[in-house]
Structure 1
Amino acid sequence: MSFIKVLDQGYVRLVNHMGSDLSIVNAARVSYAKESHELSEKDMKLIQFLAREGHTSPFRHVVLQYEIYAPLMVARQWWKYVIGSSHAEGTGDSMEAWNESSRRYITEEPAFYIPGSEEWRSKPENSKQGSGEVLGNELGEKLSSELLQYIDLGVQKYEEAIQNGVCAEQARLFLPAYGMYVRWYWTASLQSVCHFLNQRLEHDAQKEIQDYAKAILELSKPLYPVSVDELIGKK
């Protein structure tokens, strides 16, 4: 499996990957000029040791590439994992990459995330961020309807601007931003992927990005079953 649908129109697609659990073992053992050709119980214990003791550089020798289609509010939370991805063991440039579609150049039909009437959540009682219980269906229907009207108006103004000769990079100002779907490629080491998972699979993470994190986990764990288990626990 290399494709998982998320939310109403979003998805995560595994585009490519490099290496295996064995690659991580051999990256660690190269210091002693040793190499394994088949993953053994001893190799698994080495992976456990590396993860437990924070010796994370071997986990940066395997890489995953995903295509992601998600609302902008999810993309901007995700983006900080690229900005802040300098690894703990050393300095230098990040090995992560992020390339996103841009409405400076494309004018394809915009798509938006519109929560269903049963998906609107209340604000939390004891926190300044996050969400609480699901709101009632009656209020949810009202909110979904109002959001749809708001989006329709923005799309209409956007299309009028394009028809009137306004450049795409300015016409996009009319589009409601946070719920608009964007598409990007994310390429990251297994260490970076698991750092993202450790934080965004937590119960207090925003539900929408939790849903994407679950898809990333489902696509990634079969490729590196031992390492993922050790790096993120048994989430």
Structure 2
Amino acid sequence: MKINVLDRGYVRLVDHMGGDLAVVNSARVSYAKESKQLTDKDVKLIKFLAREGHMSPFRHATVQLEFYAPLMVARQHWKYVVGSDHTMDAWNEASRRYITIDVENYIPQPLEWRSKPEHSKQGSGEPVDESIGREATERLLRQIEQGIKDYEWALESGIAAEQARLLIPSAYGMYTAYYWTASLQSVSHFLNQRLAHDSQYEIQEYAKAVYELVKPLFPVSLEELLKS
């Protein structure tokens, strides 16, 4: 299952392990008990675990997702791995050191460029005037076109791919592909942070896609974790 994001990006559900029942049973093992199907009692247990911050049972349910996202999104996302308070995350990314991948970039359309906020040093405000947005899009396209020409020239001239990639344009807007395998706890932390209305628009869109993909797998647990 795949959900398209932005102009060229997407999030795809690759695999998952467990569900709400896995959360319940990993908690009940302390008492040598196991549920075969989810009951009202089990739902109450999940609510208790989430409300009281007992997170270890939520680490026994995992998802594996594939992202195709601009680097500015991928690097924001990455800090949820390096800053995780547990070790239930894995990250593998496509490498231009080993292969030459078609260069694709996130290109905002003229009406999609946002102004800087009036009362904050980060984030964005209302859309800029269309004429300014059109100029920004044109300037970005010119940079990308020239950069791709330089990158292709380097490869054709025999320069190693690991160095030729230095000529690739628009580093923050260039798309990259990666796999993220994470526990339900880690996913919920990411969603709590990046579904927030004041998070960057682009990563919000990826968080919405993650939520749509993961929610059906863990309907009770995710709902409760996003309350906490």
Q: Which TM-score band (shorter chain)?
A: over 0.9
1:143 paired residue number = 136
Q: Which runs of 5+ in 2 are unaligned?
A: none
Alignment of 1:222 onto 2:221:
no
Alpha-carbon distance, 1:136 to partner: 1.6
Residue type of the partner of 1:140? G
Alpha-carbon distance, 1:85 to partner: 1.1
Residue type of the partner of 1:184? Y
Normalization by structure 1: what TM-score?
A: 0.95
Alignment of 1:155 onto 2:145:
no
2:195 paired residue number = 201
Give the Cα–Cα distance (whole angstroms) in 2 for the partners of residues 95 and 45 of structure 1.
Answer: 25
Give the Cα–Cα distance (whole angstroms) in 2 for the partners of residues 117 and 194 of structure 1.
Answer: 34
Alpha-carbon distance, 1:112 to partner: 0.4
Alpha-carbon distance, 1:138 to partner: 1.5
1:78 paired residue number = 77
Moved more, 56-65 or 168-177: 168-177
1:99 paired residue number = 92
Normalization by structure 2: what TM-score?
A: 0.98
Structure 2 residue aligned with 1:184, among 178, 182, 206?
A: 178
Alpha-carbon distance, 1:86 to partner: 2.2
2:127 paired residue number = 134
2:111 paired residue number = 118
Give the Cα–Cα distance (whole angstroms) in 1 for the partners of residues 102 and 59 of structure 2.
Answer: 38
Residue type of the partner of 2:174? M
| Deviation sequence 1:126-149 (CA, Å, 0-9, x none) | 111111111121111111111000
Task: Report the count of equivalent residues.
Answer: 227
**Percent same amino acid among aligned pairs?**
65
Residue type of the partner of 2:214? S
2:18 paired residue number = 19
Give the Cα–Cα distance (whole angstroms) in 1 for the partners of residues 211 and 88 of structure 2.
Answer: 20
Alpha-carbon distance, 1:233 to partner: 2.6
Give the Cα–Cα distance (whole angstroms) in 1 for the partners of residues 142 and 98 of structure 2.
Answer: 26
Give the Cα–Cα distance (whole angstroms) in 1 for the partners of residues 191 and 227 of structure 2.
Answer: 10
SS of residue matched to 2:99:
coil
2:68 paired residue number = 69
Give the Cα–Cα distance (whole angstroms) in 1 for the partners of residues 167 and 149 of structure 2.
Answer: 9
2:36 paired residue number = 37
1:90 paired residue number = none
RMSD: 1.0
SS of residue matched to 1:188:
strand
Q: Which runs of 5+ in 1 are unaligned?
A: 88-93
Alpha-carbon distance, 1:192 to partner: 0.2
Give the Cα–Cα distance (whole angstroms) in 1 for the partners of residues 227 and 6 of structure 2.
Answer: 25
Residue type of the partner of 1:211? E
| Deviation sequence 1:161-220 (CA, Å, 0-9, x none) | 111110011111111211000000000000000000000001111100000000000000
| Deviation sequence 1:37-80 (CA, Å, 0-9, x none) | 11011111110000000001000000100010000000000001
Give the Cα–Cα distance (whole angstroms) in 1 for the partners of residues 51 and 85 of structure 2.
Answer: 20
SS of residue matched to 1:198:
helix
